[in-house]
Each structure stands twice: as structure tokens, then as C-alpha cells.
Amino acid sequence: MKLLIVNGPNLNLLGTREPEIYGTVSMTDVLSALKDEFAQTATIDYFQSNHEGALIDRLQDTDYDALIINPGAFTHYSYALADCLKNILCPKVEVHISPIYKREPFRQKSVTAPHTDAVLSGFGVEGYRLAAIYLTKNTLQNTVK
């Protein structure tokens, strides 16, 4: 199974950007741990961009079986990204490191979430692992049917 993780704007700064909100673990560390843990069940690819069109281009290249996406600020206003997710048929989970529903009012709305199978918010970087657990089990169960 090929699992794609896509991160939106400013997530390239994970580990150093607002550590009181996003923690001090880098995405490199998160990916290393995920690749170790899921080595037997998934190949993990990663893509990050600060540009909406680059994210959409990568998502439209459907060379993956399941998707974890953290759209960053695009979560709250990118109807283009929402439309793209709507057309992706594989299982997908939206992840947010911080608890978006406890933050500023503009961050409490996700235009992308309705086009995913689940949303994890507020679990820190552990959300990526929880999403991977769900997706690897869900994808394997659907394959066996």
C-alpha cells in the first residue's frame, strides 16, 4: 500500500514555528518514525508546499492508495483544494496538529473536511500516526472484501 502525506503552507517549519502550539518535533522526525512503524504495511511518500496549485497538482497525480492531508491555512478557505479532494476516491484523513476548534473563529471552519473520511484535530504530531493506523487498517480491510 502506498500512503501519501501532504502538508500545506508553513508546515515546512514544523518543530520551530510556534512550538507552544505545534510542538518541537520536526516533520523529518515524524516521517522517520512513521516509515519505521509502518515498514511492513505501507510505503510512505511525503509532499509539502506553500503553494496551493502545487498541492493540487500533487494530489491529482493519483499514484497512492490512501492520503493523509494537513492543508494548513488552506483548510479554512481553499475551495480549489476542497474540489480536488472531492474527486479523490481513495481513503483520506485530514490532520491538524493543534485543536482547530479551540482556536480563533476563522480556524474553526474547514472547507476541506467534508471531502475526507475523517478529521483528527489536536493530537499533535501523533495525529499523523493515528491517521496512518486508520488508513492502513481500513485499506487492508477493503482490499480483503
> DSSP H helical segments within 61-113, as ranges?
79-86
Active-site residue, selected from the candidate residues 64, 96, 115, 128:
96
Active-site residue, selected from the candidate residues 22, 64, 115, 128:
22
User: 77: which DSSP letter?
Assistant: T
Query: For this structure, is 128 an active site residue?
Result: no
| Residue 129, CA distances (Å) to 39, 75, 97, 135 in order | 13, 20, 11, 10
Q: Give the separation between CA 93 and CA 120, rounded to whole angstroms.
A: 7
User: 38: which DSSP letter?
Assistant: T
Residues with Cβ within 8 Å of 21's Cβ and at least 6 positions away in sequence, in order, are 97, 98
On the CB side of 90, how many CA atoms lie within 13 Å of its CA? Answer: 20
Specify which residues 123 forms β-bridges with: none
Query: For this structure, is 96 an active site residue?
Result: yes
Q: Which residues are catalytic?
A: 22, 96
